[in-house]
Amino acid sequence: MTNPTTAVGNNPAIETANGISDEGLVAPRQHLLDLDDLSAGEINDLLDSAEGMLEIAGRDNRKTPALRGKTIITMFFENSTRTRVSFEQAGKILGADVINVTASASSVSKGESLLNTVKTLQAMQIDALVVRHPHSGASYFISNHTDASVVNAGDGTHAHPTQSLLDLFTVRNHIGDMTGKKIAIVGDVLYSRVARSNILAFQKMGAEVTVSCPNTLIPDEWNLGSTLGDETGFGGLKLARNVDEAVDSADVVMALRIQQERQDAGHLPSLREYSDRWGINAQRMALANDGALLMHPGPMNEGVEISSEVAHGAQSVVEEQVRNGVAVRMAVLYTLCAPGKSTRIGNSESTSGDEA
Amino acid sequence: MHLAARKLAITGGRVIDPAQGIDRVADVLISNGKIDEVTASSEWTMLDDYEVIDASGKIVSPGFVDLHTHLRDPGQEWKETIITGTRAAACGGFTTISAMPNTDPVQDSAAVVDDVVRRSAADGLVRVLPIGAISIGQKGKQLAPMGELADSGVIGFSDDGNPVADANLMRQALSYSVELGLPIINHAEDKKIGAGGVMSAGTVATRLGLAGVPAEAETAMVARDLHLADLTKARLHIPHISTVGSLVALRTAKDSGVDVTAEVTPHHLTLSDEWVYGLKGEVPAAVGSEAYDTNTKVNPPLRSRADVEAVIDALSEGLIDIIATDHAPHAATDKVCTYNEAAHGINVLETAFSSVFQLVDTGKISVVRLIESLTAGPAAILRKDLGSLKKGFSADVAIIDPGSKWIVNPEQLESKSVNSPLAGVELTGRVVTTIYQGETVFDLNASGVFSEAKQ
């Protein structure tokens, strides 16, 4: 009864003011680095929370005081439009102060190390760090060197958990229970953090995931036409022989961005050939189940991995994904930074005498 | 006390000297910095002028010989120096180490090599043998003055860290070295295969989203080098061999008479790529914040379990000739960063014996073969009177307590750097005393010369 987190959440006054219910709040969790350490139940709790957030984000006056007095820093070492802006928007709707740091306009460009950058920000008493970094594991590294909550907004080719949450949220809103549903992911699996996080996330929700891409863009130890064993860490993942096999009878088709540099590095003969053999177009979407969803994490290369016709067609939920991204990130930030959870120096239990 | 005249008797230990085929309880007698004899205690009478080290219950081995050490001196003295590196060596039982030439400036001229030799003799706690560069600046373009370097005492040539990518330059280096009688030690890695990789390709790399280097990047260049050694009839020494494929190629070459030797590191014998998960080899259900342990980043990368088992078997049977440390100290800032940013290399000298001794405890290799691979084996490649307790040899001895347990604390290592993935790991079997030229340079339990020097 005296648990401070639930006490705040159950306060009718605050609940009314915020429009935020604490029902479904997961056990205290400091960081969100990937979804692999979340249970399906925890993921569903977050998605439930995002439902409420979506409603708030759609209001005429949507500013809430839920995270008033909290400071969130978005630290982006890679270019980004939708992820960075949606985190910023999510934080601001919740009433937090959001400060954006980009590598090119910070001391990073003067050669400051990641460690010292984090320590510098930490010294300013922040509550959450939202990190995008080109190196896999960067947010894990940072989480070891700060008291703030760390949200992984994409680390190298490893993970992008909030993208997965918004993808799950979008799919759940359309098809509900994902058990046994077929998710086809088509694109650069080798270099894609979205692919890695989404394979694990959709499998966790009971879906069957099939990927398709050129053999040069899957790890060498994977074989086209096989189903991966548990020892791979992606047990149950199906590797289609070709794109038609992947898309056939799919409930969700997800196209991933293909980068020009894959052609330059010799992974592909040309983007034109990629488009021909792996691009998602109306003909290929016709192989999927009726009403199948077409998704893309963005930014899209229209005419390469996805044709303009289907990208903006009836089955496309691409813009919905972006809208949902704000709600999902509100849920994440609220869960991690909920009132009473401050880890700042000088605040409640975290104060220790020798911290100078 | 006049150290040169010191007479020392190491009594009652299990003396293992593979060069002489000795494995029995015996006493080792030393005077004037040289070995007098290895003898049964009943065969000699102790006189008052002997200082006695009671080695009962211990293993008495020739001091270890390392063919692959990075001392970082000159040029990167914040990582290691000749002084701290030789202290670390003494702590680990090594009485001879070989300084890799990737210093700044590179050891590609007599001037630099002579400086290393001179300062090592003056400041080093143990013997330092220099290795010369294969190419000027280790750039792989033009041969270094190999003859001049040989005259300065180098024991081989290597562009370690920078594989000789140009097959013709490698061919010429091998051919030119024939007259000098010294081995070419080429870091075997085709940098184009798996370019940008930071760990071994495979399940772990895929799971962690780290770019992987396939084992074939090593295997392909090992195969090339073996064919070129066959062509030139030169001596080739393969450093830190680590893949099943390389071993297949090595066996074929040895069977057909190619003059090749190979070394394996303690970490490739004991750690798999699963250590990158940061749980000392355990595979987690979910990637945790301990993952991406930068102290596991090394080149060649930690390989699969199958590779680890294969190099153990190959060392045990003698296909791999020796153990060499590839001791590669790095400053904290080189490792407290993302995995991509981290420098390659592990701090090995002080943990080397203890870590590989686990293979003896688990029955995977005999203690005699293990000690051979640290003593007689490397000495044979050096073609020097080292690595044995033969009469008249330098009195270099490592005394090992096979039951001593310790937990690795990198902060307590004598090396200037702390980059060990074994932090917190308990190991059994440890060098407790190291004697170099008849002097005690390390004594774990007493305030020996080394301990005084520490203060």
Q: Domains of chain A by range and CATH?
A: 4-159+323-350 (3.40.50.1370), 161-320 (3.40.50.1370)
Contacts for B340 with CB less than 8 Å, ≥ 6 apart: A134, A135, A136, A156, B198, B210
Domain boundary at B382, B407, B434, which? B382
Q: What does the pLDDT read at residue A341? A: 60
* Same-domain status, B196 and B143: yes
Nearest-angstrom CA–CA distance, A55 and A64:
12
Angstroms from B212 CA to nearest CA on chain A: 9
CA distance B292 to chain A (A): 6
User: If 0-12 CB within 10 Å is exposed, 13-18 middle and 19+ buried, where does residue B161 land?
Assistant: middle
CATH of the domain at B115: 3.20.20.140
C-alpha angle A291/A292/A295, rounded to 5°? 130
Do both B222 and B140 map to the same domain?
Answer: yes
Give the pLDDT confidence score for residue B192 in this predicted structure: 95
Residue reference for tokens 């940098």: B191
Alpha-carbon span B116 to A188, nearest angstrom: 50
Tokens matching residue B450:
């080394």
The reply to whether residue B201 touches residue A219, judged by beta carbons under 8 angstroms, is yes
pLDDT of residue A11: 33
Measured in angstroms, the CA of B261 and the nearest CA of chain A are apart by 30
Q: Which residue, chain included where needed, has tokens 């680990």?
A: B92
Last residue of one domain, picked from the residues B338, B355, B382: B382
Closest-approach residue (CA) in chain B for A145: B336
Q: pLDDT band for position A5 (50/70/90)?
A: very low
Task: Kindly report whether the peptide bond that precedes residue A4 is cis, defined as omega within 30 degrees of 0.
Answer: no
Question: In this structure, what token pair is assigned to residue B340?
Answer: 């991509």
Q: Which two tokens stand for residue B380?
A: 């044979």
Per CB-CB distance under 8 Å, the chain B contacts of A31 are: 289
Please give the structure tokens belonging to residue B279. 């749980």
- The per-residue pLDDT for range B188-247, each reduced to its tens digit, is 999 999 899 999 999 999 999 999 999 999 999 999 999 999 999 999 999 999 999 999
> How do beta strands B34-39 and B50-54 pair?
unpaired
Nearest residue to A186 (alpha-carbon basis) of A108, A243, A244: A243
- Mean per-residue pLDDT, A297-315: 96
**Domain ranges, residue B114:** 63-382
pLDDT at A21 over 70: no
Tens digits of residue pLDDT in A79-105: 888 999 999 999 999 999 999 998 877
Chain A residues with beta carbon closer than 8 angstroms to that of B289: 31, 33, 140, 143-144
Instruction: Report residue B308 as tokens.
Output: 């680890």
CA B33 to chain centre: 24
Nearest residue to B157 via CA among B254, B86, B169, B330: B169
Decide if B106 is inside a domain: yes
State residue A313's pLDDT score: 97
Distance of CA B215 to the CA centre of its chain: 21
Q: Are B365 and B265 part of one and the same domain?
A: yes
C-alpha–C-alpha distance, residues B147 and A68, integer Å: 74
Of the partner residues B202, B288, B341, the one whose CB lies closest to the CB of residue A135: B341
Distance CA A133, CA B426 (A): 35
Asked if residue B401 and residue B342 are part of one domain, the reply reads no
Q: Alpha helix (H) ranges present in A11-81?
A: 12-18, 40-57
Place of tokens 């229970």: A177
- Secondary element (H or E) of residue B38: strand B34-39
Same domain, B189 and B74: yes
For B187, the token pair is: 């870091």
What is the mean predicted confidence (pLDDT) over A241-266?
92
Contact B79, B85 (CB under 8 A): no
Q: Active-site residues of B: which are they?
A: 326
Q: End-to-end distance of chain A based on CA atoms, in angstroms?
A: 35
Other Cβ atoms within 10 Å of B411 Cβ, number: 6
Helix (H, G, I), strand (E, B) or coil at A266: coil
Residues of chain A with Cβ-Cβ distance to B291 below 8 Å are 137, 140
Indicate yes or no: CB of B212 within 8 angstroms of CB of A219: yes
In whole angstroms, give the CA distance from residue B164 to residue B29. Answer: 46
Q: Which of B360, B382, B404 is the last residue of a domain?
A: B382
For residues B127 and B257, membership in a common domain is answered with yes
B161/B54 same-domain check: no
Q: State pLDDT tens for residues A197-207.
A: 999 999 999 99
Check whether residue B318 and residue B412 sit in a common domain. no
Please tell me the predicted confidence (pLDDT) of residue A27: 46
Per-residue pLDDT at A264: 80
Q: What are phi and psi of A274, to 5 degrees?
A: -60, -45
Rounded Cα distance between B418 and B414, Å, is 9
CB neighbour class for A39 (10 Å; exposed up to 12, middle 13-18, buried from 19): exposed
Q: In this predicted structure, what is the pLDDT of residue A105? A: 75
* Residue pair B325/B265 in contact by the 8 Å Cβ criterion: yes
Asked whether residue B259 falls in the same domain as residue B156, the answer is yes
Decide if B291 and A140 are in contact by the 8 Å CB cutoff: yes
Q: Are residues B278 and B290 in the same domain?
A: yes
Q: Are B27 and B11 in contact, with CB atoms under 8 Å apart?
A: yes
Residue B163 tokens read as 């594989």
Decide if A114 and B337 are in contact by the 8 Å CB cutoff.
yes
Of B428 and A347, more confident: B428
pLDDT for the residue numbered B206: 97
The amino acid at B359 = L
pLDDT at A344: 57
Q: B199 is written with which tokens?
A: 């760990």
Q: Is residue B388 in a domain?
A: no
Whether residue B387 is contained in a domain is answered as no
Query: Quick one: pLDDT at residue B46?
Result: 75
Asked if residue B143 is part of any domain, the answer here is: yes
Residue-level pLDDT, tens digit, chain B, 455 residues: 445 568 999 999 999 999 999 999 999 999 999 999 999 988 888 777 889 999 999 999 999 999 999 999 999 999 999 999 999 999 999 999 999 999 999 999 999 999 999 999 999 999 999 999 999 999 999 999 999 999 999 999 999 999 999 999 999 999 999 999 999 999 999 999 989 999 999 999 999 999 999 999 999 999 999 999 999 999 999 999 999 999 999 999 999 999 999 999 999 999 999 999 999 999 999 999 999 999 999 999 999 999 999 999 999 999 999 999 999 999 999 999 999 999 999 999 999 999 999 999 999 999 999 999 999 999 999 999 999 999 999 999 999 999 999 999 999 999 999 999 999 999 999 999 999 999 999 999 875 445 344 33
pLDDT of residue B433: 97
Cross-chain Cβ contact B287/A36 below 8 Å: yes
> Which candidate, A26, A88, A20, places its Cα nearest to that of A59?
A20
C-beta separation of B35 from B26 below 8 A: no
Residue with tokens 């060498």: A220
Tally the domains of chain B: 2
- Please check whether residue B437 lies inside any domain of the structure: yes
The answer as to whether B236 is a domain residue is yes
For residue B446, what is the domain's CATH number?
2.30.40.10
Query: Is B277 part of any domain?
Result: yes
Q: Of the ranges A6-10, A292-296, B409-413, which one carries the lowest mean pLDDT score?
A: A6-10
Does the residue B389 lie in any domain? no
Q: Do A33 and B287 touch (CB under 8 A)?
A: yes
Both B335 and B411 in a single domain?
Answer: no
B255 and B197 in one domain?
Answer: yes
Cβ-contact A35, A204 below 8 angstroms: yes
